[in-house]
Structure 1
């Protein structure tokens, strides 16, 4: 569904991206509107699929997930049944925060968050035990410089 987004919608979306726990009164004040029109716009944006699932961000390191790996996967398998099995294996593992199918030399890249290298190895062993892959390269992130879900509205 295609929806037209105006400047007020952009301001509302910006406010929600910064802090979705704000009250309607706070958002309305920030965007220079009243509560009912803001509520109606948010409802319309949700119905159009512009606003998706609302959640909270947890601090991975505070919870003991100190290692972030980017996993590059090459495969010689491209059949539908292999792909379905691979996608299921990724969806079933909470360690996989992101997974992307790529164009170019690498077929897939995963962002995997685990407690330590030993936990990554357990993840890796389980993954290759379920699906056949041609080549796996794991890159350990030494420092997260920027991470955001905010879009440049």
Structure 2
């Protein structure tokens, strides 16, 4: 069971995992060693899956975002696994979601420029049969981030 200190630790770490332990401990009114033990407990319990660095997409050279909505005529477990494998090593596809409604999947694709989308599209359709793919170019990111609300954690 998590308490408010655990939630504060989780919230602070997901916003910046490089925060010095002493600063984090002060934020939650604990000693550094007690805070460190809590972080280890949260990792062991699976609340913290991994610590990563979020890169500046402009500096890395992939400032363009395209969302592709995918329809398929196939819905078997084997086809889904083939699809999963087909997108796994296409680095430009950074997120993939299975959906309800008119489309089956949503892909978030990051690119150096919009013209590069055709190369990603061709790589994908060589690997797996798709019924329809509709692409949408993101004009502006209004909100972005990996942080999730911690108030629901138990």
Match of 1:55 in 2: 52
Give how far 1:119 is off: 1.4
Cα distance in structure 2, aligned partners of 1:19 and 1:56? 9
Q: Which residue of 2 aligns with 1:104?
A: 101
Residue of structure 2 in register with 1:150 after alignment? 147
- Counterpart in 1 of 2:31? 34
Matches within 5 A, 1:2-17: 4-17=1-14
Q: Point out where structure 1 has 5 or more consecutive residues left out of the alignment.
A: none
Runs (5+) with no aligned partner, structure 2: none
Q: Give RMSD over aligned pairs.
A: 1.0
Shift of 1:81: 2.5
Within-5 A mapping of 1:74-153: 74-153=71-150
CA offsets, 1:107-134, max 9 Å, x none?
A: 0001000111221100001101110000
Tell me the TM-score normalised to structure 1 length.
Answer: 0.94
Higher relative contact order, structure no. (Cα contacts within 8 Å, ≥ 6 residues apart):
2
